[in-house]
Amino acid sequence: MKLKTIKDAEVKGKKVLIRVDYNVPLQNGEVMDDTRIVESLPTLQYLLKSGASIIVMSHLGRPKGEVVDDLKMDPVAAKLNELLKIDVKKVDSCIGPEVEEAVSELKAGDVLMLENTRFHKEEKENNKDFAKKLASYADIYVSDAFGTVHRAHASTEGVAHHLDSYAGFLIEKEVEALSPLLEDVPKPFVLLLGGAKIDTKIGVIKAYINKADKILLGGGLANTFVAAQGFDVGQSLYEEDKLDVAREIMLEAEKSGCEIILPGGFIVADEIGDNVLTADMEVTGIEANMKMLDIGVRSLNKFAGILEEAKTIIWNGPVGLYEKKPFERGTRELAEILSEVKGKTYLGGGDTLSALKHFGIKPDKFTHVSTGGGAMLELLEGKKLPGLKVLTS
């Protein structure tokens, strides 16, 4: 894949519309993890130094085409202001008269941030007129939104049909770091997947059955598979409508010789809290009032042994509710083990990044820590990603 990058573009005196992935965790109106913003700075700084003015756009969360006050970009703009040390002007929409006026006033070196693109349903529909409108504000389009390149949305794909389009340094860096895995994956190749939701990861698991030697599952994702095997999961989080798919995947894996390994035991509690009573229960012993909130210690040791032997490891998603002390052990110890194993380690996903930060584990301990979750997994699956395709020559 040959990307056109901003080094190929003439940006002096131009208005550059840049799509970033500032879908960052927020709490009480503050950015909890600024990794994705920090990682976009080299591109923004290069454009500004080269004499461009920039219009920054991103989605934040999943507002379903409506304005959601808690998902406005203001805290993100404030964070960018602080990091760039430049006055970032923020408008309250991403299209319309207010944007037109702000754009018309832009001078070289100015930064304007648009409102959450997903406040308009046309964004996810990749609506042509909407994309054209966004494009009309600028001379050049740059994407550095690696975390969102697997989405064919107006701001990640549609807009590129109306402007000369280039990749920023973050996209270039991610693609370069991940591409070797598309050719030759040293084996044993192990995929460690966690996180709460199964829906976004189901396709990924299916695709990796034919690539990975072992797939280790934790988090809510594992609960769904455990329930699919017919065990009682008590009050645990799981997705009832995905039980059939989970069964189908387990059957397919068996046929293709890929081992899907589920935790055989879990740290359980009756309630979620920082000081609650917990127990380490075998999967056969989960009772109706219990919640499975981390992998059990015996499973942790088993996972650790497999990871230590692996030559290539991809990790996406925490294996437990690591934000709460009683349920952090599985995620913390696996992160620590991965920071020391001999095999190559590729990590990704917002929650995984946040977990590393939470435990104070430095990203430079791993082969590559990606700002993309789904995007990294889909790229490594070998899929052609719409947000990258538009940036190729």
Known catalytic residues? 36, 197, 350, 374
Q: Kindly state whether residue 373 participates in binding ligand 3PG, applying the rule CB under 6 A.
A: yes
Residue 123 binding partner per list Mg ion, ligand 3PG, none, with a CB distance cut-off of 5 to 8 Å that depends on partner kind: none
- Which residues sit opposite 215 in a β-bridge? 191, 260
**Least distance (Å) from ligand 3PG to the CB of residue 30?**
18
By C-beta, is 33 or 213 nearer to Mg ion? 33
Q: Which residues are near Mg ion by CB under 5 A? A: 373-374
By C-beta, is 220 or 374 nearer to ligand 3PG? 374
10 Å CB burial of residue 60 (0-12, 13-18, 19+) is: buried
By C-beta, is 14 or 151 nearer to ligand 3PG? 151
Q: Name residues contacting ligand 3PG, limited to 10-29 (CB under 6 A).
A: 21, 23
By C-beta, is 82 or 199 nearer to Mg ion? 199
Residue 348 binding partner per list ligand 3PG, Mg ion, none, with a CB distance cut-off of 5 to 8 Å that depends on partner kind: none
**Least distance (Å) from ligand 3PG to the CB of residue 61?**
7
**Least distance (Å) from Mg ion to the CB of residue 354?**
13
**Residue number with the shortest CB distance to ligand 3PG?**
23
Contact at 8 Å (CB) between 371 and 353?
Answer: yes
By C-beta, is 22 or 137 nearer to Mg ion? 22
Of positions 1, 45, 49, 62, contacts ligand 3PG by CB under 6 A: 62
Q: Kindly state whether residue 201 participates in binding ligand 3PG, applying the rule CB under 6 A.
A: no
Q: Kindly state whether residue 348 participates in binding ligand 3PG, applying the rule CB under 6 A.
A: no
Q: Name residues contacting ligand 3PG, limited to 139-198 (CB under 6 A).
A: 147-148, 151
By C-beta, is 147 or 234 nearer to ligand 3PG? 147
Residue 194 binding partner per list ligand 3PG, Mg ion, none, with a CB distance cut-off of 5 to 8 Å that depends on partner kind: none
Contact at 8 Å (CB) between 373 and 147?
Answer: yes
End-to-end CA separation in angstroms for the chain: 9
By C-beta, is 263 or 350 nearer to ligand 3PG? 350
Site map 223..262 versus ligand 3PG, x via CB under 6 A: ----------------------------------------
**Least distance (Å) from ligand 3PG to the CB of residue 58?**
8
Contact at 8 Å (CB) between 385 and 379?
Answer: yes
Size of the site for ligand 3PG (CB under 6 A): 9
**Least distance (Å) from ligand 3PG to the CB of residue 381?**
15
**Least distance (Å) from Mg ion to the CB of residue 38?**
19
Chain residues that interact with ligand 3PG, rule: CB under 6 A: 21, 23, 62, 147-148, 151, 350, 373-374
